[in-house]
A and B are shown apart, each in its own frame.
Chain A
Amino acid sequence: MTIFYIISIITILLALYMVLTDNTFRSILAFLGTVIGVAGIYFFSHAEFLAVVQILIYGGAIVTITIFILMLTPEIEKTELKLSTKKIFAGISSLLFLGILIFTLTGLKNKIEFKSFTIKEIGTKLLTTYAVPFEIISILLLSTLIGAIIIARKN
């Protein structure tokens, strides 16, 4: 359980750094750390397949594309770190929202019993019971691919 707490604290600290820093590249790197920390939480909860998928898709694909876009859209002006009323109000509302969430969710105190699922179980369920959502997801991916190409090309 100690490892779980350490992973969680590192993840939350990295997420805080990602939000509070003004350097976008450092923000992306902190996001990479956060994603790997969440994958560690998955590993700890015996969801090994999901952890590997998380590292592959988030850590591999999404972070790489984000760095590409950061290089393609350079921002000339610097944004300075200052305390504006917008930030104060955003902080207050976020803290209130966090309070409501924790107050609501910690009322449930059941014990969690860990179960590990093999890839075979997940794949069988995915291609028998949930075959229709699977196909819809693949159509969504295809249409997003075509749409992204059409939006991003010149003219």
Chain B
Amino acid sequence: MYHYFIISSILFTIGMYGALTKKRALQIYLCIELMFNAVNINFLIPMIVEGQIMMLFVITIAAAEAAAALALTLAIYRLKKTTSVEKITTLKN
């Protein structure tokens, strides 16, 4: 049982490290998807139907998030000609 916890913890931490250090919006988005996956493994452990239904909901929300995040990336690229999160500093000034 704790194998699942350890694998999901390692994957979540890798995703967190990537989301903290990556520069392009697309790579940060991929790391967030990795964190979704890592959390989803934990729902397997109780071995009940509700866990699997919960996993289905999480996957659906991830798909919805994919559409929204990628549309936003495209819109920002049209405005700024870049998707690097270090160059988009409009709110700073």
Instruction: Decide if the interface of chain B is mainly helix, strand, loop or mixed.
Output: helix
Instruction: Decide if the interface of chain A is mainly helix, strand, loop or mixed.
Output: helix
Q: Which of A84-134 contact B (CB under 8 A)?
A: 86-87, 90-91, 93-95, 97-98, 101-102, 105-106, 108-115, 117, 121-122, 125-126, 130, 133
Measured in the bound complex, the distance between the Cα atoms of B50 and A130 in whole Å is: 9
Contact with B along A1-34 (1 / 0, CB 8 A): 0001000100110011011000010011001001
24 A-B Cβ contacts within 8 A? A15-B14, A18-B34, A27-B30, A28-B30, A34-B11, A50-B59, A58-B33, A62-B62, A66-B29, A73-B73, A73-B83, A90-B20, A97-B13, A98-B9, A102-B5, A106-B2, A110-B1, A112-B45, A145-B67, A149-B71, A151-B68, A151-B71, A151-B74, A152-B71
Question: Which residues of A does B touch, CB under 8 Å?
Answer: 4, 8, 11-12, 15-16, 18-19, 24, 27-28, 31, 34-35, 38, 41-42, 45, 47, 49-50, 53-54, 57-58, 61-62, 65-66, 68-70, 72-73, 75, 77, 79, 86-87, 90-91, 93-95, 97-98, 101-102, 105-106, 108-115, 117, 121-122, 125-126, 130, 133, 137, 140-141, 144-145, 147-149, 151-152, 154
